[in-house]
Amino acid sequence: MTVLADNWDTQCDQWYLLQQPPGRVPPLPPPQQTDAWAAALGGVPAQDLRLQLTVQSRPGEPVVLHTLYVTVVGSTTAPAGNGYTLSAGCGGGLAPASFAVDLDATAPRARSVSGFDGGDREPAVDFPLQVSANDAEVLDVDAHTLDHDVSWYLDLVWSSGTRQGTLRIDDHGHPFRTVGLKGDPLYYYTSTAWIPIPKAPQGTAQPSAAGSDGSG
């Protein structure tokens, strides 16, 4: 299995919570250096953490994927800070996730969802799923929190013939961490500076940078 935690599509709607004010946050790096940039600033993935899981079996050993469990290690109120998005003016939006996880739920679970990609409806993909050496399965997971600080991981349950097991999916031996941005000041980067994003009226969706500069 390979695991990518890089938004699995584009930098659109990828957020980090930082404690620094915008005047102390350096310009954005190239996309491949985003993780190091955020880590150096003490940034935490915010609002959504998107994982792309690619599962493939060994030759001659087809594997059935049975379910994906979500385990929350800890959940508290999200710390205050500033939210920074890594791209502005994204127009098309993200392709749909295979599974959505509401980290604010009492018992979060991976829920199969459908959506639109390029105007075409993408059907929901649900378990059980079979993979082989020549037929890999890609599972896109979108884990969201509005106002919590959540540490969590996934368990993928599989079987192959008489063998069965559980594959832990985490952040290099540690739980993933995702924090909410409710009430925090939000910023996106132009070519020269961090610009504030106007807050949406109470009760409406969290604003994104898309369209903030007139594009999108």
Q: For 190-211, what is each residue's pLDDT tens digit?
A: 888 899 998 754 444 454 544 4
Domain total in the chain: 1
Buried b (16+ CB within 10 A) or exposed e, 101-121: bbbeeeebebbebebeeeeee
| Inside any domain, residue 103 | yes
Token digits for 144?
């969201």
The whole domain housing 29 covers 2-196
The amino acid sitting at 146 is L
CA-wise closest residue to 75 among 5, 152, 17: 152
Q: Is 45 inside a domain boundary?
A: yes
- Say if 131 falls within a structural domain: yes
Q: What is the pLDDT of residue 164?
A: 96
Residues of the chain with pLDDT under 50: 91-94, 201-205, 207, 209-216
Instruction: Give domain status of residue 136, yes or no.
Output: yes
Let me know if residue 210 belongs to a domain. no
On whether residue 209 sits in a domain, the answer given is: no
The reply to whether 214 falls in a domain is no
27 belongs to a structural domain: yes
